[in-house]
């Protein structure tokens, strides 16, 4: 799946997301307008859709969950090795549902590790990223 960046600031996201994230209106995302980004996971987080995309400002391209409202869909093909998990609403991380590679849907411990930039979680992400890139090229 690939998405095109159509907005780069917190002013461009919904009030619902602002209410969940506080001072998000003043956020400037380090994305490039018009750039096409591959998506490596999707989540419905506290009722808001987000895409897992490598952070363009990270030297290694560490993954970051960006609001889907910043993008428009360019290529709706999903990798053939994606999974789905419904975590529900009753946990502290806020991930209601997740689509993505197996580990991304395999438990909240991995998701927490990815959020904290845990080395083992990042290693898995970069391996799965490589596999997705090969499929979608």
pLDDT level of residue 37 (50, 70, 90 thresholds): very high
Residue 46 has pLDDT above 60, yes or no: yes
CA distances from 16 to 29, 67, 123 (A): 18, 11, 33
Identify which of 33, 47, 64 has the alpha carbon closest to the alpha carbon of residue 129. Answer: 64
The encoded tokens of residue 95 equal: 């991930």
The domain in which residue 29 lies consists of: 2-136
Q: Which CA distances in Å does 117 have to 24, 62, 78, 114, 134?
A: 21, 8, 25, 5, 24
Mark out the alpha helices in the chain (DSSP H runs).
15-21, 108-115, 119-136
- Is pLDDT larger for residue 57 or for residue 51? 51
Task: Give the total number of structural domains in the chain.
Answer: 1
**pTM score, two decimals?**
0.88
Residues 79-107: pLDDT tens digits? Answer: 999 999 998 876 667 788 999 999 999 98
Tokens of 97: 């549902």
Could you report the per-residue pLDDT of 105-127, keeping only the tens digit for each?
998 899 999 989 999 999 999 99
């Amino acid at each position: 799946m690939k998405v095109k960046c159509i907005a780069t600031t917190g002013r461009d996201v919904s009030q619902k997301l602002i209410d969940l994230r506080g001072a998000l209106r003043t956020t400037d995302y380090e994305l490039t307008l018009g750039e096409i980004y591959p998506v490596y996971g999707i989540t419905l987080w506290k009722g808001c859709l987000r895409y897992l995309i490598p952070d363009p400002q990270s030297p290694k391209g560490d993954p970051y969950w960006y609001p889907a409202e910043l993008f428009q869909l360019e290529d709706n093909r999903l990798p053939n090795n994606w999974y789905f998990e419904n975590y529900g609403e009753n946990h502290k991380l806020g991930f209601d549902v997740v689509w993505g590679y197996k580990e991304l849907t395999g438990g909240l411990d991995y998701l927490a590790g990815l959020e904290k930039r845990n080395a083992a979680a990042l290693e898995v992400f970069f391996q799965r990223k490589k596999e997705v890139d090969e499929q979608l090229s």
